[in-house]
Chains A and B, each alone.
Chain A
Amino acid sequence: MLVPGLLFYLIFRYGPMFGLAIAFKDYSPFLGVLKSPWAGLKHFEKFFSNADVWRLTFNTLRLGVLQLVIEFPLTIAFAVILNEVQNMRCKKAYQTISYLPSFLSLVIICSIFKDLFSVDGVINQMIVQLGGNVIHFNGDPKFYLFIYILSDLWGGLGSGAIVYLAALSGVDQNLYEAAKLDGCSRIKMIRYISIPSIMPTIVTMFLLRVGNIIRITPDKTLLFYNDLTLETADIIGSYVYRVGITNKSYSFGSAVGLLESALAAVILIAANKICERATGSSLW
């Protein structure tokens, strides 16, 4: 029974790790992994000697932490609030409306937000109507992260809440009824029943997100940034994309990717330890 699962992991999860070797080689696809010459730590040294390395790392961590600190609790809060809606029709309507943006492609979501915040977009029109001056949101690094996180929330709040809604639906209803008989308010029920009941789910989801603090997919960054926001927006992923894919520097891109993964692993292990001590729940 174990064999299919074991094979899956060996072939599709552990096998590809063999490819990490190209981070230590001057890889050429036409020489292959084995025949490409060894380069030692050359590509790692190149990355660390790059003038932009700290800026890229800082930008990546800042975005990852902001996503974690803002989006993660808001998603839980949204799920809990939705769970409190008593009218089933309303509840389903809210859930459907919040989930709909998940069906839109990232390109469309980014285009919507770029248009909203453009010089002649809705937001600027409102500002002008209220007597303010036009703000160049899309070209101002100060607003970049705000727009990025806002679009994340709009596009992912509904779908992100599903896991917590599923966990909340599994909470024993007798607990709520007993609390109600004891005169417990809704806020207290949330605090003492709902949240503790879904704590293992919250911890698991938290740890999964912590592991991705440094591993941010560059898709949205590539769609959002321009030359004016590049210094704030550029993250490791978008840099690897430009160098690794666009310039076909596969070994260098892989070395940076490997560093990124190693750092993510360290953060994940540390977070897992902290969670284990603080809540008793952990991934392993």
Chain B
Amino acid sequence: MRNKNLAKVIAPALAASLVLGACSSADSSTAPAKESPAAESAESAAEESAETENISEAADEEGNGWLVEEETTITMSFGSNYEFDENTWIFQKIKERTGIQVEPIVYPSESKDEKASAVIASGALPDIMFWSLSETEINEYGEQGAFANVLDYVDVMPNFKALILDDADMNEIYQTYTTESGKNYQIPIYRLNRDINHGNLYRADVFEELGIAPWTDTEGFYNALVALKEAYPDSYPLATSNGKKSLERWMSEFGINNADVAYDYDKQEWYIGCTSNAFKEYLDFFQKLYTEGLMDPEFLDSTVDTYNEAFLNNEAFVCNEWIGRMSALDNAAKENDANTTFSLEFGYPIGTGHYEELPQLEFWGNAVANNENTEVSMKLIDWLYSDEGSEIMTIGVEGENFEWDESGTAVYPELEGSTINIGLLEEKYGMWIEGAYLHPDRRSCYFAFTEKEQAAQDLVKELGNSKDNPKVDVAAEDTADYNLLITGLTDELSVFRANYITNASYGDAQWEEFVNKVTAEYGEKLLSMLNK
């Protein structure tokens, strides 16, 4: 017995130390993170009634109506760039309403994935994880007993049931994540997305000044960049803000939902995105832009700072970016010069003429640990789906930290003078913690579009969307091999894409060599796993 206990303590510690020793982590500028949305609130929020009644009873000051019989403490881990503890406003509100005291375990957003990976290696999980685990990881570890099967707790999750399981469309999506053993470990985010978050933006004032008509197709897009270059020879008209990630956003406009594995809805089969003709067209197009000096030569190392600087100094005029940048940059320009005509506006997609659809249910890798606190954790998760939880998490508490004004906009007296966005609400109150807003309130600032943002939503509705990839479904026994192959393929295609775009001598011969290599080394094996 003694040996067994000792092994239980030492084994995970040893494993973690070995893994960490073997792979010391850098300050993660490479770490990939969910892009947190943020929004302006100049326009009043669209009044949209919540989809469900608040099924859990409201708690009173004596604790009647709590989700638990006596105060219970659980741990919750998430990524953020702000500091929180159990006394943070949001956790105090959660305790008042539910009786559950949350002890936050916060990792910096940039290195959240690496930290989560190290914690997983130790086997010691927090009760609730708002991390970025992939669906295959969640299912693999869930089947091994690490995560709780949500379907086992439906009895204590009336709000989750009403929103997701009882809604035929939502349930259909949710069930695609159910494992072969009939379990589902996923905690999805319900209706977070707007019609569009990222798209092509352009300096409307410069276009107007130069008499350039905003593009409606790829050729128009190219001609606009050429005209801009002629007018501003020292500029690189097309800019990116996040290295190759920005470049990847244009792929969907060319009809490739993913460069590694993508789904062909017509043929109903998976294919390797980077071996498709559409990918070649995409590469040829950007090679042309690069060769002619129409795009930032250091696009792979671009950051938000380099992007902002280029736009504010007339060194760049077109980009594919988060739509909130329209007001952010307009405001920044006005701060520099109150009389500026600087105006960033939303433009048409290029390629196929469609932006990619955004899902109704987001699966960001949230999960609940399978331990003695699972039921309490599930009750708290369910509360986050409730109208009360939704409002507190994404708008606040009326009369306490905000009031509705006449136009139906939430006004925060303590934040008077600041532009209200979700980042500010997270910093001040702990609301909008990444991943924990399981049912964002449509009256919140996130859905309060500026005039330009609303125009973007309307345009995308009018144009219609291209379909996103369906869920990648890999058998448990193939997961490790699949991950290795994807890593190899991603490296291979990233290097090829960068070299193709920046090297005018790359053409059909290099393309064919690349396609053959990728197909032989990765494609056939990956597709045999996916098209089973």
Q: A interface vs B, CB < 8 Å?
A: 15-16, 18-20, 22, 26-34, 46, 50-52, 105-107, 114, 118-119, 136, 138-139, 217-220, 222-223, 226-228, 230-231, 234, 237, 240-254, 256-258, 260
Contacts and interface: CB of A to CB of B under 8 A. Distances in A.
B117 interface: yes
B277 to A, nearest CB: 22
Contacts of A107: 26-27, 29
B24 interface: yes
Given A107-B27, A222-B26, A118 B491 contact: no
A51 B18 contact: no
B121 A250 contact: yes
11 contacts: A19-B19, A30-B145, A219-B24, A220-B26, A230-B491, A230-B495, A245-B23, A246-B31, A246-B32, A251-B480, A254-B22
A156 B45 CA distance: 55
B8 interface: yes
A237 B23 contact: yes
A139 B296 CA distance: 12
A249 B298 contact: no
A-B pairs with lowest CB-CB distance, top 5: A257-B22, A227-B498, A19-B14, A19-B18, A219-B26
Contact of B243 (A226, A234, A247): A226
Contacts of B25: 219, 241, 245
Given A32-B7, A250-B121, A139 B502 contact: yes
Contacts of A218: 23-24, 26
Interface stretch (B266-274, B324-332, B461-469, B481-489): B481-489
B26 A245 contact: no
B504 interface: no
B19 A245 contact: yes
Counting chain A CB atoms within 10 Å of each CB, the highest count among B7, B23, B298, B498 belongs to: B23
A257 B23 contact: yes
B484 A253 contact: no
Given A19-B14, A19-B17, A228-B498, A30 B123 contact: yes
B7 A46 contact: no
Interface string B174-213: 0000000000000000000000000000000000000000
A240 B23 contact: yes
A254 B19 contact: yes
Interface in B1-53: 7-8, 10-12, 14-15, 17-19, 21-32
Contacts of B244: 226-227
A37 B298 CA distance: 46
A206 B213 CA distance: 65
B379 interface: no
A19 B26 contact: no
Given A18-B10, A246-B113, A253 B498 contact: no
B297 to A, nearest CB: 6
Contacts of B140: 28
Contact of B11 (A32, A244, A247, A250): A32
Interface residues of B, number: 56
A179 B521 CA distance: 67
Given A32-B7, A230-B494, A118 B17 contact: no
Given A118-B298, A118-B301, A248-B137, 17 more contacts: A15-B10, A16-B14, A19-B11, A19-B14, A19-B18, A29-B141, A29-B146, A32-B123, A50-B488, A51-B488, A138-B298, A230-B491, A247-B483, A249-B484, A250-B121, A253-B23, A257-B21
Contacts of A227: 244, 300, 494-495, 497-499
B33 to A, nearest CB: 12
B260 to A, nearest CB: 13
Contacts of B301: 114, 118, 138-139, 226
A31 B144 contact: yes
Contacts, number: 177
Contacts of A34: 7, 11
A223 B19 contact: no
A250 B15 contact: yes
A160 B24 CA distance: 21
A273 to B, nearest CB: 26
A224 to B, nearest CB: 10
Majority secondary structure, A binding face: helix
Given A227-B494, A228-B502, A247-B487, A29 B297 contact: no
A242 B487 contact: yes
B494 to A, nearest CB: 4
B127 to A, nearest CB: 15
Nearest to A28: B144
B375 interface: no
Given A226-B243, A252-B480, A244 B15 contact: no
A226 B486 CA distance: 18
Contacts of A230: 491, 494-495, 498
Contacts of A46: 484
B480 A223 contact: no
B477 to A, nearest CB: 10
B474 interface: no
A244 B502 CA distance: 30
A234 B18 contact: no
Contact of A19 (B8, B15, B491, B497): B15
B401 interface: no
A105 B27 contact: yes
Contact of B15 (A22, A50, A237): A22
Contacts of B146: 29-30
Interface in B111-141: 113-114, 117-118, 120-123, 137, 140-141
Contacts of B123: 29-30, 32
B297 A119 contact: yes
Contacts of B145: 30
Counting chain A CB atoms within 10 Å of each CB, the highest count among B140, B141, B487, B502 belongs to: B487
A20 B488 contact: no
A226 B300 contact: yes
B26 A223 contact: yes
A49 to B, nearest CB: 10
B314 to A, nearest CB: 14
A251 to B, nearest CB: 8
Contacts of B494: 227, 230
A243 B120 contact: no
B12 A29 contact: yes
A248 B117 contact: yes
Given A46-B484, A248-B137, A33 B298 contact: no
Nearest to A32: B11
A60 B513 CA distance: 26
A234 B491 CA distance: 10
B307 to A, nearest CB: 14
Nearest to A25: B15
A137 B9 CA distance: 49
Contacts of A138: 298, 301
A15 to B, nearest CB: 7
A240 B20 CA distance: 11
A27 B8 CA distance: 15
B141 A28 contact: yes
A27 B15 CA distance: 9
Given A32-B12, A46-B484, A256 B22 contact: yes
